[in-house]
Structure 1
Amino acid sequence: MRAQIALFLALAANATGQSFLLVILPPLGRQLGFPDIQTGLILSVSALLLLVSAPAWGYLSERIGRRPVLIIALACAVLALGAFGLVIDARIAGTVAATMALGLVFAIRSGQAIMSGGLMPAAQAYMADVTTPEGRASGMGLLGAAYGLGVIAGAAVAWGMGGGGAVLAFWLLAALASLGFLGVLLFVSEPNRRATPATSAVTHLPIAEIWPFLAITLGAVSCSSMLQQVTALRLQDALHVPPEGSIAKAGAALMATALVMIVVQGAVLRFLTWTPQRLLRAGALLAAFAMLLGGLARSYAEIFAALVLFGAAMGLMLPGNLAALSLRVGRDAQGKAAGLNALGQGAGMAVGPLAGASLHQVAPEAPFAVATILLALAFWLAVVASRVPPKCRKQPHAKQPTTTNYQE
C-alpha cells in the first residue's frame, strides 16, 4: 500500500505543477513581454508533443519497466519546474531579453512534455500490475483522484499568489515534485511481470476488443473539456451574468465538479463492489442524464447541480473504463494500452474546447446537447463491449494476490 500512496502523492504533485503552469502562463507571459500568440503556441505545441510521446512511452514501459519510466518522467518534471523559475527570475531581473526568455520557456516546456509523456501510461500500467481484477477500478480511481487533486491545488496556488511571486511558486512546486520523486524512488518497486506459459504470448493489443474503451475515453474527455470552455459563456449569454460574475460562478461550479469526482474516485469506489463494466455503464448513463439536465437548465443553481452530478458520473465512468480496458489486455500489453488511452485523453482535451466554442455559437445549450448524445453513445458502446467476451486471456492476479514485496 505504501507504493500506491507514494505514486498517488507523486502524481498529485506533478499535476499541481502542470495545472499551475497552464493557469499562470498566459498572464505571466504578458508580464514577461511575450506576445499572446507565442504564449498560446507554447501550450499548443507542448500539448501536441505530449499527445505524440505518450504511446511511445507506453510501449517503452513494456521493455524497460514501469519504474524507470516513472522515475524519468518525475525527474524531468522537477527539473522543468526549477528551470521555469530560473528563466522567469532572470527575465524579471532584466538579465535575459524577452526573445531569449521566450525561446527558453518554449524549449523547457517542450522537453517537459516529451519526457513526462510516459507518466500516466506507466502509472496506469503499474496499477494494473499490482491490483487484482476485483480491485482494478479502485486502483485506477486512485490515479484519477490524484490528477484531480493536483488540478485543484495548482489553480489554488495560482489564485493565492495574486499576480506576484511566480518565481517562488515555481521553486516551491519543484520542491513538492522532488518529494513525490523521492517517494517513488524509495517505495515503488518494479512489479513482478515474469511471463508464464499462459501469458507469455499475450503481448499484442486486441484492437477489436479494446477500441470501444478508447472511443469512450475520447468522448468522455471531450465532453469534460467542452464544459470547461463553455460554462462561463453559458452563464453570460443565456443567464445574462456579467463577465466577472460568470468567471467566478463558473469557477465555483467546476471546482465543485472536480471535488465530487475526486471523492467518488478516491473514496466511494473503495466501498462499491461493482464490476468495472457496471461502473462504466452506470457512469455513462448518469453523465448523459446530467448533460440533459444541464441543457434544460434555466438558472445557475440548476447548472451547478447538473455539473456536480456530471462530476459524480465521471468518477464512476472513467475508472470503470480504465479498469475494463486493462482487463481486456494481457499483462505484457498494459503499457501499450495505457499509452493509446493517453492518446485518446490528449485528443479529447484538444478537440473539446474548440468544439465547445463552435457549438456555443449555434446556441448556448448546443454543447450540452451534443455532450448528451456523445455520452449516450458511450453508454451504448459500454453495453456492446460488455456483451463481447474477451478471448481466453489469463489474468494472473485473479487467483494469486499481488505479493507484498512489490506493493509496499
Structure 2
Amino acid sequence: MNKIKGSLFFSVFVAMLGMMLIAPIMPPLIRELGLRESHSGLMISLGSIAMAVMAPIWGRISDSKGRKLVILMGFAGMSMSCLLFTAVLFGGLNGWVQGGVLLALLILTRGLIGAFIPAVLSASQAYMGDMTEESERGGAMAILSAANGMGLVFGPAIAGAFTLIGLLWPLYFGIAIAAVALVIALITLPPAKPVAREKSAAKVSPLQPGLRTYLIFGLITMIAIVTIQVIGGFYLQDQLALSPEGTAQAMSIGLMCSGVAMLVVQLVQVKWLNWPPRRMLAAGSVILVAGMVVFLLSAQMALYILAFVLFGIGAVWLMPGFMAGASLAVGQEQQGAAAGLVGAVQGVSAIIAPITTASLYQIDKHLPFVLVAVLALAAAVSAGWMARKPYMAAPATKKETADR
C-alpha cells in the first residue's frame, strides 16, 4: 500500500511540476519570438480552460475504464504534447514558423498540455479514494495535497535553474520527467478494475448537496494560491523597493519557506493528527486569514517570511480538507467524477484569479490580499458552522460520513 501511495504522490507531483515549469519561461520566450505580452496570457488562460473542461471528463473515464489507464494516458499525453510545444518554440526561435501560424500552434500545443494534466490529477485522487477507508481519507488526501503543493512551489524554482543552460531546457526536463513518471506508474501501480459503468459515473453534479460545499472551499483555496503566485512578487518589490533580481530572490525564499511548512504540516497530519476534513478546513481557513493579515500589515522581509509560512500552513490544511471532503461526499462508483470536479476547480481558479487580482492590484496593491482574507474568513465561519452540525446517517450508496 505504501508503494502505491508513493507512486500516486510522485504522479501528482510530476503533473503539477509539468504545469508550473512553463510559467516562468513564457515571458522571455514570448519576447524572443516577437509576440506580444498578451499572447502569453492568452496561452496560459486557454491552457487553464482546457484543464477545467477536461478534468471532469477524465474523472468519469477513470470511473468507467480504470484509474491506472487514465494515469498512463495522462503522462503519455503530457510528454507528447510538451514535445510538440517545445518543437513549435524551437521552430519559432529559429525562424521556421512565424506570425499567426506560430501563435496558433503555440495555443494548440499549450492547450493539449492543459488537457492531459488533469488526467493524472483526477485519476490519482480517485485511486487514493478507492484504496482508503473513510476514517483515513483525510490523511491520504494530505499526501496528494503535499505533492500538489510541492509541484506548485518547486516547479518555478526548477525551471529557473534549467534556464541557466537555455530557455527551452525546462521543457526538455518536463518531457523527460513525464516519461519517467509513466514508466514508474506502469511498474508500481497495480491495475484497478473500473468501478462504475459510464452512466453511473456521469451522475455527479457540482451542485449536488455536500459536494458543492467542498468545491467552493476548493475554489477559495486555489484562488489564494494563485493570488500569491501572481501578485506576491509585485507586492514584495513595491513594499520593500527591491531590484528585479532581489524580487526574484525574495519570492523564491518565501515560496521555499511555504513549501517547507507544507511538508512539515503534512507529515504531522499523516503521522499523528489524522484530522477529518471539517477540522482541516476550519484550521486552514483561520491560519490563511492570519497569513493575509501579516502580509497587509508588514513592511519587513522577516515578517513576510512569516506570512509565507502561515500561507503554506493554511493552504496545506485546506487542500486535503476539500479533496477528502469531496471524496467522502460521493459513493465509490463516483470517486473519479468527484476528483474530476476538484481538478476543474483548479483550472477555473487559474482563469479567474490572475485577471481579478491583477485588476485589483492596479487599483490598490493591498486589495488582492484583502480579497483573499475576506474569502478565507467566510470559509472559516462556514467550516465552524459545519463542525457544529450533528452527525447524520449516510446513504449506503453515497458513503457519506458526518465529517463531510
TM > 0.5 fold call? yes
Q: Cα–Cα, structure 1 residues 249 and 105, in superposed 2: closer, same or farther, change >3 Å?
A: same
Preserved CA contact (<8 Å) 1:212 1:382: no
Please tell me whether residue 130 in structure 1 is matched to residue 95 in structure 2. Answer: no
Q: Which amino acid aligns with 2:254?
A: A
Return the alpha-carbon distance in structure 2 between the equivalents of residues 294 and 168 of structure 1.
34
Mark the runs of 5 or more structure 2 residues left unpaired by the alignment.
none
Q: Cα–Cα, structure 1 residues 270 and 170, in superposed 2: closer, same or farther, change >3 Å?
A: same
Q: CA RMSD in A?
A: 2.8
Identify the residue that residue 405 of structure 1 maps to in structure 2: none
Pairwise CA distance, 1:338: 1.6
Preserved CA contact (<8 Å) 1:87 1:104: yes
3-state SS in 2 of match to 1:235:
helix
Identify the residue that residue 162 of structure 2 maps to in structure 1: 161
TM-score (norm 2): 0.87
1:370-381 map, 5 Å: 370-381=371-382
Mark the runs of 5 or more structure 1 residues left unpaired by the alignment.
399-408
Instruction: Give CA deviations for 1:357-404 in whole Å, capped at 9, x if unaligned.
Output: 233344333322222221111112223334264552348999xxxxxx
Percent sequence identity is 28
Instruction: Give CA deviations for 1:173-225 in whole Å, capped at 9, x if unaligned.
Output: 31221110011122213445668xxxx99965581122221111111111222
Return the alpha-carbon distance in structure 2 between the equivalents of residues 181 and 266 of structure 1.
26
1:99-248 map, 5 Å: 99-162=100-163, 164-191=165-192, 204=204, 207-248=208-249
Identify the residue that residue 254 of structure 1 maps to in structure 2: 255
Identify the residue that residue 402 of structure 1 maps to in structure 2: none
Return the alpha-carbon distance in structure 2 between the equivalents of residues 334 and 46 of structure 1.
25
3-state SS in 2 of match to 1:271:
helix
Q: Which amino acid aligns with 2:106?
A: V
Return the alpha-carbon distance in structure 2 between the equivalents of residues 69 and 265 of structure 1.
27
Bigger drift between 89-98 and 267-276 goes to 89-98
Preserved CA contact (<8 Å) 1:203 1:330: no
Identify the residue that residue 361 of structure 2 maps to in structure 1: 360
Instruction: Give CA deviations for 1:228-278 in whole Å, capped at 9, x if unaligned.
Output: 222233334344444443343233212321332233235643322322221
Q: Cα–Cα, structure 1 residues 233 and 317, in superposed 2: closer, same or farther, change >3 Å?
A: same
Pairwise CA distance, 1:131: 1.2
Pairwise CA distance, 1:77: 0.5
Instruction: Give CA deviations for 1:130-175 in whole Å, capped at 9, x if unaligned.
Output: 1122221222122122223233443223222345424444333312
Q: Cα–Cα, structure 1 residues 394 and 266, in superposed 2: closer, same or farther, change >3 Å?
A: farther
Q: Which amino acid aligns with 2:371?
A: V
Q: Cα–Cα, structure 1 residues 100 and 202, in superposed 2: closer, same or farther, change >3 Å?
A: closer
3-state SS in 1 of match to 2:118:
coil
Identify the residue that residue 394 of structure 2 maps to in structure 1: 392
Return the alpha-carbon distance in structure 1 between the equivalents of residues 202 and 119 of structure 2.
22
Identify the residue that residue 325 of structure 1 maps to in structure 2: 326
Bigger drift between 344-353 and 74-83 goes to 344-353
Aligned residues, how many? 394
Pairwise CA distance, 1:319: 0.6
Instruction: Give CA deviations for 1:14-68 in whole Å, capped at 9, x if unaligned.
Output: 3222211121122112223333322322221111111112122222222222222
Q: Which amino acid aligns with 2:359?
A: S
Pairwise CA distance, 1:97: 4.0
Q: Which amino acid aligns with 1:331?
A: Q
